[in-house]
Structure 1
């Protein structure tokens, strides 16, 4: 038999893995032509992850979106409604660059770049320019957006939704996750899901956490496939921690 600690870790790890993603809970539909930097990452023409344009030919998303069963991966850029896609102008082939330290979301480094097959004419979202040792202040009101379910266990949607969430103190976030016997990695931001009925959940991993009109985080995970908030905080990859890797991809990836 497994030791109790080993069994508990296995159960909780599986719970978090099932909960990867970011459907928008208690949000609102994004107006047409808004948040144009948002990207739908697709397999065989079907949405499975979110992402966002950071340079004319580079998209950021979550590393756990690099699923081996997803073979024909493309991205769609320039529409809020996935039923309205101009295949000639909105769909791009990609090259993937996953962070070398990534193993699973619970270990951090849940970040990946996608190199577009051609430059986009859409304006990218800005990234922070602060040094990697800087932090986003707690209780900062931010925005998270994505395609996916708009309620727990509900159907997915074709239109882009957004919701405002507040960042949560890192130490408070860790204390809440410690109640379910999990230790969070250092390179994350917590926002939403805790003391609120708003947040991200399944369906749109890789979407951005936008604070002060900058993408500061990437939707990474929540707990136990449960979007009936409040519960423990949602977890995002902290982009500030990865600025050197983002700015100098040639050191790690062959995507140019």
Structure 2
């Protein structure tokens, strides 16, 4: 009862802020080749249901969004693009390492590490993605990629097979303007505006990948509206959290 009430209150809080961050996936995308994006992770609850996306960054940790913590994930699945094709060897129990400054999506810091219960089996189907370096700059209009398993249209259904779409980076000043100045710090904007491509409900926490490096974490769109063009999609900027990530990876614990 209390858990249901918590989710009800959270939903209406996000809607009142003009945000919808309970998951997101791919609009106008395509199925991912089984030999690519081997870092993708399905973040799942104790019933084995997909609740968020994530991505492997080393053999011990998956990166995802902090707001996914509200959905109480207990495991991740690695090594498959088709969620109907999962066996026990692909599943890893997790400990959640939410960013200490995270309060809610509107205030930012929407980033979380998931510590795997055992080292990931790196092979031809599982491979981590490198993170952006602090000194690297992302150019406006640069084409990047976002992937996930969620809705392919507003009010749709989650999909079994991983989908991917290319999205352009949007100037942050322009993004803030389109959002009426109401954006948290340390974010990146890409897709959803000036294009019919972007993400939707069903897979928050997935990566924004530019030139083979993860630069952002899917955070929120506009009230769950996935009929684009709309206002820009918003991601947590990984480059602003490299020190925190590095510290946890070095300690190998939360």
Q: Same fold (TM over 0.5)?
A: yes
Q: CA RMSD in A?
A: 2.0
Structure 1 stretches of 5 or more lacking a match?
1-8
Alignment match of 1:128 (pick from 132, 137, 142): 132
Kept after mapping to 2: 8 A contact 1:61/1:207: yes
Deviation string, structure 1 residues 58-81 (Cα, Å, up to 9, x no partner): 1000000001x52x6110000000
Tell me: CA distance 1:255–1:11, structure 2 relative to 1, closer, same or farther (3 Å): closer
Q: Which residue of 2 aligns with 1:45?
A: 48
Distance apart, 1:10 and its partner CA = 6.2
Cα distance in 1, alignment partners of residues 154 and 55 from structure 2: 24
Q: For residue 200 of structure 1, give the secondary structure of its aligned residue in structure 2.
A: coil
Q: Which residue of 1 aligns with 2:195?
A: 196
Kept after mapping to 1: 8 A contact 2:131/2:215: yes
Distance apart, 1:123 and its partner CA = 1.8
Cα distance in 2, alignment partners of residues 66 and 135 from structure 1: 30
Kept after mapping to 1: 8 A contact 2:61/2:249: no
Distance apart, 1:15 and its partner CA = 3.9
Counterparts of residues 63-102 of structure 1 (less than 5 Å): 63-67=66-70, 70=72, 73-87=74-88, 89-102=89-102
Kept after mapping to 2: 8 A contact 1:51/1:60: yes
Residue 72 of structure 2 is aligned to residue 56 of structure 1: no
Residue 16 of structure 2 is aligned to residue 13 of structure 1: yes
Structure 2 stretches of 5 or more lacking a match?
1-11
Deviation string, structure 1 residues 110-149 (Cα, Å, up to 9, x no partner): 0000011111113210101224xx6422111000000011
Give the aligned length.
238
Distance apart, 1:224 and its partner CA = 1.1
Cα distance in 1, alignment partners of residues 14 and 128 from structure 2: 39
Alignment match of 1:23 (pick from 15, 22, 25): 25
Cα distance in 2, alignment partners of residues 185 and 241 from structure 1: 13
